[in-house]
Amino acid sequence: MLNRVAQSLRAAGGTIFEFVVAKILNSFLNPDGIVVTRAREPALRTLIRDCSNLQRVMDFTKIPVKRRCDQTQLQDYPDLDLFALIRPSQDDGLWRLLAIINCKVSFHARDTEATFWGLLIRLSSNIPFVVVTEDRDIYKPKASELGQSCTQSTRARRLLESFSDGVYLVKQYNGVNDSSLCRDIETKRSQLEAGIRRIVFDDPNIPNHTKYCQSVRPIDDLIVHLRRWKEEIS
């Protein structure tokens, strides 16, 4: 399954960061029947072979757009990055959308772009919309774009907390073949097998790293949350 997902990501020309996020999540969620892939038709077509099922998934994420000039309503596809999909069960044989994942290595005033789509998607459907970020400025080093904490927050953090279902932080990796990423995946597997829950894919000790809160979490928690959201709709 991981090879098939990688193929679908390559088909759509996903960014390096999206590849990394998908690899982390798929390494732990594929056995649960959850697959993370690029939110574009070429990538989706690699996974969803049934044309009507593919169209159903794509149509479900389209946003109604009303045009004043001719007073018509259209359905436009939002600017999205990754889909978390539920693999077909034996009951219906259909792929279903579980969550939408917006990926940003940094925001640089693009937080409004993410929150705009997040708000529209949450208004038009009941699908969780989350944001995953490296918060890259802390490596320069500069201050976090999310601020020091909830109480000492930036405008970006306040908007993202309000108009998404969570912001998840991941440390910087140099692509999907980065030895440190492969090592972290194996470390996480070993911990989970031993019943240990520790943060692996983020490092809160990096200087200027923002503090976690209920809405701002390490990407390790997104693995848990996606499993829980699947249980809620199963």
3-state SS, the chain, equals: CHHHHHHHHHHHCCCHHHHHHHHHHHHHHHHHCEEEEECCHHHHHHHCCCHHHHHHHHHHHCEEEEECCCCEEEEECCCCCEEEEECCCCCCCCCEEEEEEEEECCCCCCHHHHHHHHHHHHHHCCCCEEEEECCHHHHCCCCCCCECCCCCECHHHHHHHHHCCCEEECCCCCCCCCHHHHHHHHHHHHHHHCCCCCCCCCCCCCCCCCCCCCCEEEHHHHHHHHHHHHHHHC
pLDDT in tens, 51-109: 999 999 988 888 777 778 887 777 766 678 899 999 887 667 899 999 999 999 888 76
pTM assigned to the model: 0.88
